[in-house]
Amino acid sequence: MGKRYAVLGGGGSFGIHTSKYLLEQPDTDRVIGIGRNGPKTAPFTLGVGDDDDRYSYHAYHINYELDLLLEFLDQEKPETIVNYAAQGESAVSFRNSWRYFETNAMALTRLCEALGKRDWLKRFIHIGTSELYGSVAEPAKEDSPIIPSSPYAASKAAFDLQLILIHKMLDFPMNILRPSNAYSPGQLLHRVVPKAVVCSLKGGKLPLHGGGIVKRSYMHIHDLARAIHLVAEGAPLGKVYNAGPPETITIRGLMEGTAEALGIPFEDLCEVAEDRFGQDDCYWIDSSEIGRDLGWKVEVSHKEGLADMVAWGRQYFDQLKDWPMSYTFRA
């Protein structure tokens, strides 16, 4: 019998790509995407699940329609739930910070308290964040101190701790993945890589906050989706895993790679802008645990990944050129 998955936050780019990866696996029987909005347009849905009756997408708001979501899940009975659902964007989370806890801690706690009573659930894979370790000088391990530097990261940490608790005390079947930063075709244009690509294709320049000197660990979404599938297939329940590349890259370095993929000089892609409030110097994680347990490592190079981003931007440019590039906060 094939595997049945539900992907919460399934309307976002990472959820879309995870659904795509799961549909490509030979033993997948069903993938259900669930998000708070209806389906987006083609540049963001990428045709995933089209003409594949194993896939469907449904709109439920985890804060305000939890009862309806649970009724739907009881009908579908997915063995594995992958959770991306979150209030994101740490840079603006000091404003209306309670909204982050409303979704990232309270709504997900309510959901998992209800899911703990469902015998059809075999595994809940929560996509956490490496930001909860704060700015670091060396790669953070899964048991490194949790030192969040934004309400977003604090709210994500709160739910991680709740999951760890209910697994230990109530045997809730969970795993947590704390990924590095990632980029993917279909990302909204306030994210740095798609924003840079579309800015360039429009003949403009990306404002590079603080000159791009902060360091991050970036990977292509394909590698995160593969990590999720490996966890779903065989990780010991209760384990927390980091997942990211072994090295960091400055945002400037990432933009230099983007300029190379576009075939233009870096100076034609970026202009230095004032730094953002609350920028951490370095996010960096140690992913050796998931390598030892499940054989995972980053496989997509930045050269390949950024070329994929540029190809996406060029394919859908007519639809992307007028798309908003600023972040819009919503409950």
Ranges of each domain in the chain: 3-182+219-243, 186-216+247-296+303-320
What pLDDT, on the 0 to 100 scale, is given for residue 102? 96
Interval 313-331 mean pLDDT: 89
pLDDT at 133 > cutoff 80: yes
pLDDT in tens, 205-240: 999 988 899 999 999 999 999 999 999 999 999 999
In this chain, the answer to whether the domains covering 3-182+219-243 and 186-216+247-296+303-320 adopt an identical fold is: no
Spatial distance between the Cα atoms of 177 and 33, rounded to a whole number of angstroms: 19
Q: Which residues are registered as beta bridge partners of 182?
A: 219
What pLDDT, on the 0 to 100 scale, is given for residue 170? 98
Across 80-127, the runs of DSSP E, i.e. the strands, are 80-83, 123-127
Exposure class string for 273-290: b at 16+ Cβ within 10 A, else e? eeeeeeebebbbbbbebb
Q: Is the dihedral of CA 59, 62, 65, 69 positive or negative?
A: positive
Spatial distance between the Cα atoms of 130 and 152, rounded to a whole number of angstroms: 11
Query: Of the candidates 148, 155, 196, which has an alpha carbon nearest to the alpha carbon of residue 310?
Result: 196
Spatial distance between the Cα atoms of 241 and 238, rounded to a whole number of angstroms: 10
Task: Please indicate whether residue 277 or residue 123 has the higher confidence score (pLDDT).
Answer: 123
Task: Please indicate whether residue 40 or residue 1 has the higher confidence score (pLDDT).
Answer: 40
pLDDT in tens, 142-160: 999 999 999 999 999 999 9
Spatial distance between the Cα atoms of 192 and 26, rounded to a whole number of angstroms: 34
Helix (H) or strand (E) holding 176: strand 174-179
pLDDT at 3 > cutoff 90: yes
Domain spanning 186-216+247-296+303-320: CATH superfamily: UDP-galactose 4-epimerase, domain 1 (3.90.25.10)
Spatial distance between the Cα atoms of 273 and 281, rounded to a whole number of angstroms: 16
What pLDDT, on the 0 to 100 scale, is given for residue 278? 60
**Distance in Å from the first CA to the final CA of the chain:** 38
Interval 188-211 mean pLDDT: 94
Domain spanning 3-182+219-243: CATH superfamily: NAD(P)-binding Rossmann-like Domain (3.40.50.720)
Q: What does pTM read for this prediction? A: 0.96
